[in-house]
Structure 1
């Protein structure tokens, strides 16, 4: 049959990413407590396309995944190598977006319940392999200004910490969640009884933080972790009394990376 995708293209425009997205695939994750955890990822696979090639072979992206079963961290670089080989590409890209469940223990009752965090593995390989890990962790912030100027009470709100790292050793997703909890006015839990709610509410009141405070606290912890080569952290607060969100970002310079 005629191979239309491999026809020559004369427009001389190389393409950065060509591939498939929103493919659902089983994955197997390293779990600090239980050893492994299974989840389902939304997968993006892509390669760079040279200027003289009309298209790529979309079916080959799935072919490079089909014999693996559940995909884990150890398989990612091999998938990229397969993509480069089978699609005759100089650079390949893979992204896995998935929920990961951590077990949180309520601060007073000691009751435990799972809580999901949204995570992303983003990998690419040209000559070198590069892997970025992202975790989005719910947290609580309480406004220092509101506490200072009010006769009683202070406005607080749900916020999110988005941590992105590149590391030369394993950093557990649970550790990223713990960094976010420590940077917040108070953590968020899957299950709280009334004594727990009292504790969390009062803890947040005694620990007010702007998004600027929270993201700097994250930076201190990320910078102190010698396994982490590069990081970017963002805290976004869904403001309870304003018609906008507040956010702050910190990023380690690439120039300071090993």
Structure 2
């Protein structure tokens, strides 16, 4: 309706057919748990960076309206399922922490809070570092 105030009906229909509109937003929470031997040290900042870098977009504390728009557009141009986020986190963990022993247990979780559904989306991967290395290097799932 709003477009019809500025455009004729035919042009409005072409615009609506051409431009894709996001159907909804999800806010995601990622979690990484690594059971490391006592002599190993992993910085919390590294875990946080991996989680944040594995999602569609970051969230920000305070933004002006144009900046909010840019964040939303960026998120919708880079959509990800919870499985994609978990896969990204696993790949980054193996790259960043490949020095950890193969028997190190790693749990990766992603929960996306749905805005239009009654359920949330959830994905989880629990494996040892050795299993994750084999999957990534061997192309397994």
- Superposition TM-score tier, normalisation by shorter sequence: 0.5 to 0.7
TM norm structure 1:
0.38
**Could you say which structure has the greater relative contact order, defined with CA pairs below 8 angstroms and 6 or more residues apart?**
2
Does the 8 Å CA contact 2:94/2:129 hold for their aligned counterparts?
no
How many angstroms apart in 2 are the aligned matches of 1:166 and 1:195?
42
Where is the helix percentage greater, Structure 1 or Structure 2? 2
- 1:173 matches 2:44: yes
Give me the whole-angstrom Cα distance separating, in 1, the residues matched to 2:20 and 2:70: 21
Per the normalisation by structure 2, the TM-score is: 0.67
RMSD of aligned alpha carbons: 2.3
What are structure 1's unaligned runs of at least 5 residues? 1-149
Offset of residue 191 of structure 1: 2.4
Give the C-alpha shift of residue 227 in structure 1.
4.3
Counting strand residues as a fraction of each chain, which structure ranks higher? 1
What residue ranges of structure 2 are gaps of 5+ in the alignment? 1-18, 133-141
Residue by residue over 1:50-91, the C-alpha shift from the partner in whole angstroms, topping out at 9 and shown as x without a partner, is xxxxxxxxxxxxxxxxxxxxxxxxxxxxxxxxxxxxxxxxxx
Partners in 2 of 1:156 and 1:203 — Cα distance?
A: 12
1:183 aligns with 2:49: no
Task: Identify the match of residue 112 of structure 2 among 237, 247, 255.
Answer: 237
Higher-Rg structure is: 1
Is the 1:170–1:227 contact (alpha carbons within 8 Å) kept by the matching residues of 2? no
